[in-house]
Amino acid sequence: MSSIVVKTLSEQAYEILRERILSNDMAPSKPIRQDALSKGLGVSKIPLREALTRLEHDGLLISHPNRGFLVRPLTIDEAEDVFHLRMTVEPEAAADACKVATDEERAYAEQVFIKLRALSDECSPDAVSINRQFHLALTAPAKRSVTQNVLLKLHLLSERYVRKHLEPPNREESAFHEHQLIFDAWMARDAKLVKKLIKDHTKGTLDDLRQQLQAE
């Protein structure tokens, strides 16, 4: 029997603002006007500040004593840092996970992949969020709680860059083809191939981002 989950105002504000940030609807490096935001969301300043503080902890906002909270800008340096960390941690975690995944965990990974396939021709917030779920589903069976928490944060930090990466035409099709190869290797429990494919996939995304961000 499903239970009703009641979210606090802070949690609701957090989810709304996180989606706005991840979809690049909030301008980077521009101070957030908390009075206007509080009024627009229909929440008081206390739950709003709790949400903003949580987003700062996620690495999506930065704060300055005299300017308040600001959305972190997309930068080449941050992209390099985040994606290099993913290349260091994620391939091995996924490779280990594919060898020990239970039938239930494999079924869940397949379920997420089917959702990803259904959104493979669009660069929507849902598609990018499912992309994150897919990658995390491939590492979760390794049962490395610290690694999984690190990867969750890295994927949240990289999500805006993934959306940026998918902006050019036909990128969604190419990305899904790579995801298909990764998924097939993972389901076949081919750890060596999984490790290589995920590393190549992440490196390719970073290579594209370098060109995109340098061109701006």
Q: What is the pLDDT of residues 116-163, one digit of tens each?
A: 988 876 656 677 789 999 999 999 999 999 999 999 999 988 888 888
CA distances from 109 to 68, 105, 139, 150 (A): 40, 6, 10, 19
**26-38 per-residue burial string, b: 16 or more CB within 10 A, e: under 16:** beeeeebeeeebb
The CATH number of 9-71, from 3.40.50.300, 1.10.10.10, 3.30.2130.10, 3.40.50.970, is: 1.10.10.10
The domain made up of 76-214 has a fold known as Four Helix Bundle (Hemerythrin (Met), subunit A) (1.20.120)
Contacts of 212 (CB under 8 A, 6+ apart): 164, 165, 167, 168
Query: What value does the mean pLDDT take over residues 67-85?
Result: 91
Token pair of 131 as six digits: 């992309």
Contact 72, 61 (CB under 8 A): yes
- The SS3 call for residue 166 is coil
Contacts of 145 (CB under 8 A, 6+ apart): none
Q: What is the pLDDT of residues 36-67, one digit of tens each?
A: 989 999 988 899 999 999 999 888 898 888 77
**Banded pLDDT at 76 (limits 50, 70, 90):** very high
Token pair of 136 as six digits: 């995390």
Contact 47, 8 (CB under 8 A): yes
pLDDT at 174: 85
Query: How far is the C-alpha of 135 from the C-alpha of 112, rounded, in Å?
Result: 9
pLDDT at 167: 80
Domain map (residue ranges) of the chain: 9-71, 76-214
Name which residue leads in pLDDT, 93 or 68.
93
Q: How many CB atoms lie within 10 A of CB 185?
A: 22
Name which residue leads in pLDDT, 184 or 208.
184
Q: How many CB atoms lie within 10 A of CB 64?
A: 9
pLDDT at 1: 44
Token pair of 20 as six digits: 């706005």
**Banded pLDDT at 2 (limits 50, 70, 90):** very low
Query: What value does the mean pLDDT take over residues 63-80?
Result: 88
DSSP 12-78: HHHHHHHHHHHTT-S-BTSB--HHHHHHHHT--HHHHHHHHHHHHHHTSEEEETTTEEEEPPP-HHH
pLDDT at 64: 82
Query: What value does the mean pLDDT take over residues 80-101?
Result: 97
85 pLDDT higher than 90:
yes
